[in-house]
């Protein structure tokens, strides 16, 4: 996902822009660029590759003069990563410069029309069309021009715009893609996300859809597309500045793995009062909850894997048919949804385009939507009927850990809350669930404090070419996340497989030395998973088993075992996922991978 930073003030802008872009590297990018308005001359420097290329090109920003500028890190959607496709993009005469996060869905017809009028394009990006349109429509009033251009655009965009004729302002626009404005003293900022500006200010505006901001040194004015002023309330960011930094850990991912006990504690504590689960965020009456005949869970990536765990939990406890759906599949399937369907949307960023659009589809069909989101004020949070925030704090590593764990914690809270409302759990069960939930942070800490075995196993097994994660029931749901974690940061091919299904085909791939990670935490099916372990061992597999401490006998079955403390069935994934996260982390470390910014990946994909 692209990153935008802008500065207008009294200091040289370029060095700050570069440091701000560094704080946004986690979003994933393949090229970067700056544009400075140096007293009415727009100077652009941009290059393919990492920010270090741009720093070299601009001598760490020192060779770029001017106290007004915009910067960008690009995650390619249209046009391959290249110098010319990097942002900022200039209009034909160089009068306007634009940086953009999002996707202009109708850029091709617009580009063709402009080319028919003789306008020359330099890049094959959608963004350049915006810069060219501004110049094409410009009659002297930049705001009027921007409003007209916006009326021609279909799609999503966060924009930063500079104009030669307006050397003392930056224009910022938001539609779908997030954009914030930082409020300083005789200086102001724009950014895609808070870490970029936290070193300068804690006061921000969050731009809403179809808002246009005019940012000057000593003030920020916000308008709607009817050019009417919009009154904004500023927000003060309480994050400890290191919350968005590594805090001494080598990688954000490791820091975030270690933060999980606190993240879960912070997420559940405000929602447990006097021995009861309190979910005031849910606006549904008990009668409405009783009226639901189906639950659909929509998400992508690891958030989807939480949905699969939730399916097993909701069906087991609530006895309501529950489907976990890949958001990108759900919306094009003419899904069966009505007002008797409860939709649960899970998203760390709250900006994932597939998930956001799937949510809109469910709403259009009459479903009540509860979202579980980590980023405050994000699009999914705003557009769902109810939002339950995970309080994991900023998650910077692309491979999610603490967001996954806090999403699971919210699922447990919902299961207990709804189970009680629906009369599906007894008071004793209620209290047992609650006491187990309250112990989860400490049990995770216990696993984290005793993870040497996992690190050792990773050092022995990181040469594996193909890895199979197998499990049954809730262990199968967890195997999806274990497999993705390993794939996304170590680039080792792995597959998650329902253990009972392996023999129906894929077992043909098992050969001598194949690494099979067998998840055997689900009490009822231990016998079955032991059979599956023996099945693959008979074909030469090396089995690493993950089980609760209650089953020491599994040491005699598997080549190696990892034990976790026991807990109630539905909460086992919260404990079992920790060794799997660590295993993936240590394997990737052994392989020298770029753990926080894996190749090809983005923290949140805000385009389809
Ligand atoms: C992917 C990320 O792009 O999007 C995953 O790499 C993430 O880590 C998935 O789980 C969904 O993102 P979000 O923000 O909707 O949870």
As a whole number, mean pLDDT of residues 470-489 equals: 98
Domain 3-238 in CATH 3.90.660.10: no
Q: Tell me what percent of the residues of the chain surpass a pLDDT of 70.
A: 98
Residues near 395 by Cβ (< 8 Å), separated by ≥ 6?
A: 256, 348, 374, 401, 402, 403, 603
Report how far residue 36's alpha carbon sits from residue 71's, in angstroms, rounded to the nearest whole number.
9
Among 492, 489, 324, smallest CA distance to 401 is for: 489
Ligand 1 pocket member 253 (CB < 6 A): no
How far is the C-alpha of 489 from the C-alpha of 397, rounded, in Å? 10
Question: Which listed residue (2, 35, 300, 545) is catalytic?
Answer: 2
Reported as a pLDDT band with limits 50, 70 and 90, residue 602 is confident
Q: Is 401 in the pocket of ligand 1 (CB under 6 A)?
A: no
Q: What is the pLDDT, as a whole number, of residue 362?
A: 98
What pLDDT score was predicted for residue 506?
A: 93
At 214, is the secondary structure helix, strand, or coil? strand
What residue has token string 């309501």? 320
Q: Give the burial class of 559: count Cβ atoms within 10 A of its Cβ; 0-12 exposed, 13-18 middle, 19 or more buried.
A: middle
Higher pLDDT, 23 or 329: 329
Q: Could you say which DSSP state residue 272 is in?
A: E
**pLDDT score for 360:** 98
3-state helix, strand, coil in the chain (%, to 5): 40, 25, 35
| Digit-coded pLDDT (tens) for 160-196 | 999 999 999 999 999 988 899 999 999 999 999 898 9
What b-and-e string marks burial along 4-15, b requiring 16 or more CB atoms within 10 Å of the CB? Answer: bbbbbbeebbbb
Out of 55, 232, 485, 603, pick the active-site residue.
Answer: 603
Beta bridge partner(s), residue 157: 102, 175
Task: Tell me, using a 6 A CB cutoff, whether residue 347 lines ligand 1.
Answer: yes
Establish whether residue 303 lines the binding site of ligand 1, counting it when its CB lies within 6 angstroms of any ligand atom.
yes
How confident is the model at residue 201, as a pLDDT?
96
Q: Is 605 a pocket residue for ligand 1 (Cβ < 6 Å)?
A: yes
Residue in 393, 396, 399 with CA at minimum distance from that of residue 252: 396
Domains 3-238 and 450-594 share a fold: no
| Ligand 1 atom with least separation from CA of 403 | 16
Q: pTM above 0.85?
A: no
546 lines ligand 1 (CB under 6 A): no
Span from the CA of 380 to the centroid of ligand 1 (angstroms): 13
Tell whether ligand 1 has an atom less than 6 A from the beta carbon of residue 302. yes
- Position in ligand 1 atom list of the atom nearest CA 300: 11
Q: What is the pLDDT of residue 250?
A: 83
* CATH architecture type of domain 242-448: 3-Layer(aba) Sandwich (3.40)
**517-543: average pLDDT:** 97
pLDDT at 102 (0 to 100): 86
Residue 243 has pLDDT above 90, yes or no: no
> Is 242's pLDDT higher than 90?
no
Of all protein residues, the one whose alpha carbon is nearest to atom 12 of ligand 1 is: 604
Q: Does any ligand 1 atom lie closer than 6 A to the CB of residue 352?
A: yes
The three-state secondary structure class of 395 is coil
Nearest CA to ligand 1 atom 5: 301
Q: Is the CB of 272 under 6 A from ligand 1?
A: no
Domain ranges of the chain: 3-238, 242-448, 450-594
CA of 602 to the centre of ligand 1 (A): 8
Q: How far away, in angstroms, is 60 Cα from ligand 1 center?
A: 32
Cα torsion for 143, 149, 153, 158, to the nearest 10°? Answer: -40
* N-to-C CA span, the chain: 11
* Least trusted range by pLDDT, from 198-207, 288-297, 516-525, 597-606: 597-606
- Cα of 303 vs centre of ligand 1, distance in Å, is 7
- Bin 29: left if φ > 0, else alpha if -120 < ψ < 50, else beta: beta
Q: Going by CA atoms, what residue is nearest to atom 7 of ligand 1? A: 301
Active site annotation includes 593: no
Measure 307 CA to ligand 1 centroid, in angstroms: 13
374 lines ligand 1 (CB under 6 A): no
Mean pLDDT of the chain: 95
2 in catalytic set:
yes
Q: What's the CA-to-centroid distance between 596 and ligand 1, angstroms?
A: 14
Confidence of residue 248 (pLDDT cuts 50, 70, 90): low
CATH 3.40.50.10490 fits 450-594, yes or no: yes
263-272, 481-490, 564-573: least confidently modelled range: 263-272
């Amino acid at each position: 996902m692209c990153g935008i930073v802008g500065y207008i003030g009294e200091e040289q802008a370029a060095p700050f822009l570069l440091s701000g872009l560094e704080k946004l590297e986690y979003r994933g990018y393949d090229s970067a660029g700056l544009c400075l308005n140096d007293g009415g001359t727009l100077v652009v420097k941009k290059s393919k590759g990492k920010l270090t290329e741009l720093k070299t090109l601009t001598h760490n920003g020192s060779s770029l003069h001017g106290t007004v500028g915009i910067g960008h890190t690009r995650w390619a959607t249209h046009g391959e990563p290249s110098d010319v496709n990097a942002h900022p993009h200039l209009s034909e005469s160089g009068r306007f410069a634009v940086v953009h996060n999002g996707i202009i869905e109708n850029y091709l017809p617009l580009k063709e029309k402009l080319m028919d009028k003789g306008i020359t394009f330099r890049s094959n990006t959608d963004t350049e069309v915006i810069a060219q349109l501004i110049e094409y429509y410009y009659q002297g009033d930049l705001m009027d021009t921007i409003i007209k251009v916006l009326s021609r655009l279909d799609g999503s965009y966060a924009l930063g715009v500079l104009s030669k004729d307006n050397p003392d302002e930056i224009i910022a626009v938001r539609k779908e893609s997030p954009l914030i404005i930082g409020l300083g003293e005789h200086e102001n900022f724009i950014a895609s996300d808070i870490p970029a500006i936290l070193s300068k200010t804690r006061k921000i505006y969050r731009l809403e859809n179809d808002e246009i901001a005019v940012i000057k040194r000593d003030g920020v004015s916000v308008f709607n597309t009817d050019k009417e002023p919009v009154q904004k309330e500023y927000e003060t960011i309480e994050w400890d500045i290191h919350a968005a930094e590594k805090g001494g850990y080598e990688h954000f991912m490791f820091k975030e793995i270690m933060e999980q006990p606190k993240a879960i504690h912070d997420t559940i504590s405000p929602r447990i009062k006097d021995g009861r689960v309190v979910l005031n965020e849910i606006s549904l009456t008990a009668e409405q909850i009783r009226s639901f005949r189906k639950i659909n869970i929509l998400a992508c990536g690891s958030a989807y894997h939480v949905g699969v765990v939730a399916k097993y939990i909701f069906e087991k406890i609530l006895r309501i048919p529950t489907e976990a759906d890949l958001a990108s599949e759900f919306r094009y399937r003419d899904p069966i949804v009505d007002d008797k369907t409860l939709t649960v949307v899970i998203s760390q960023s709250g900006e994932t385009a597939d998930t956001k659009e799937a949510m809109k589809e469910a709403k259009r069909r009459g479903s009540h939507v509860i979202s579980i989101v980590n980023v405050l004020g994000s699009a999914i949070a705003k557009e769902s009927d109810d939002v339950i925030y995970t309080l994991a704090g900023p998650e910077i590593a692309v491979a999610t850990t603490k967001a996954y764990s806090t999403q699971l914690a919210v699922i447990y809270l919902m299961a207990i809350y709804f189970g009680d409302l629906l009369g599906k759990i007894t008071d004793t069960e209620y209290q047992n669930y609650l006491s187990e939930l309250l112990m989860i942070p400490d049990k995770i800490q216990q696993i984290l404090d005793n993870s040497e075995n996992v690190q050792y196993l990773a050092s022995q097994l990181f040469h594996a070419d193909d890895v199979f994660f197998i499990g049954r029931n809730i262990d199968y749901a967890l195997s999806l996340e274990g497999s993705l974690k390993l794939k996304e940061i170590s680039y080792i091919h792995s597959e998650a497989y329902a253990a009972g299904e392996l023999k129906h085909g894929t077992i043909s791939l098992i050969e001598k030395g194949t690494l099979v990670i067998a998840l055997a935490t689900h009490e009822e099916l231990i016998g079955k998973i032991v059979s599956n372990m023996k099945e693959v061992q008979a074909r030469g597999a090396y089995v690493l088993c993950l089980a609760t401490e209650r089953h020491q006998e599994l040491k005699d079955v598997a080549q190696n075992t990892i034990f976790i403390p026991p807990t109630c069935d539905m909460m086992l994934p919260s404990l079992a996922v920790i060794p799997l996260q660590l295993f993936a982390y240590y394997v990737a470390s052994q392989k020298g991978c770029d753990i926080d910014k894996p190749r090809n990946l983005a923290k949140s994909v805000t385009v389809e």
